[in-house]
Structure 1
């Protein structure tokens, strides 16, 4: 019975350390890439709304999102998901919307413009 308790404690420690490492990893990526200063607040809010709520992102903000880069974009979304106030969100749904928003912006920015 004692070995079961030790095992349980080890599992909890492993999971806690893994979550803490993931949080530090996202924070480190954000800091090293200066992610938080690459987009203005209006575009950050548009991107947030399109991913975490129901909304769309303008062409102008899509361009800024693509310039921000996928590494920053993903790290910021993952860090936002770690916020205890957002615990009711379903991570898989948010990640899917994150990918959809990124792909839509990428397609918009890099699609050939129609010829006149």
Structure 2
């Protein structure tokens, strides 16, 4: 059963990232281009996957990705998480995802200040 849940979680993460990063599914074309140009280019794909896995799943976040997250910026981070959380399948738990997102941000800011 654990393997089944793990596979479902990975599929969910891939679909969520697809919705977030593919303009046709997430936002209007001009908004998507603006997000891409200002936000998504600042973070590695691996760290982006890790963020989604933490916020929308139960993964642990590697401290090594905190630099990327903080460099991306709070506005970009919040906007991208909100776009994913606004999907019809996720909207019911949006407040939970936004709290996890804020907790992750706070953790990374604290890590960045000590580094």
Output the TM-score relative to the length of structure 1.
0.65
Aligned partner (choices 55, 64, 67) of residue 68 of structure 2: 64
Aligned partner (choices 109, 112, 115) of residue 112 of structure 2: 109
Give the unaligned 5+ runs of structure 1.
1-22
Offset at 1:85?
3.8
Question: For 1:43, what is the secondary structure of its paired residue?
Answer: helix
1:42 counterpart = 2:40: no
Corresponding position of 1:100: 103
Q: Matches of 2:34 and 2:54 in 1, distance apart?
A: 20
Offset at 1:92?
1.2
Corresponding position of 2:81: 77
**Structure 2 CA distance for partners of 1:86 and 1:41, relative to 1, 3 Å:** same
Offset at 1:63?
0.9
Quote the RMSD (CA, aligned, Å).
2.2
Give the unaligned 5+ runs of structure 2.
1-26
| Higher normalized helix content (fraction of residues) | 2
> Greater CA radius of gyration, 1 or 2?
1
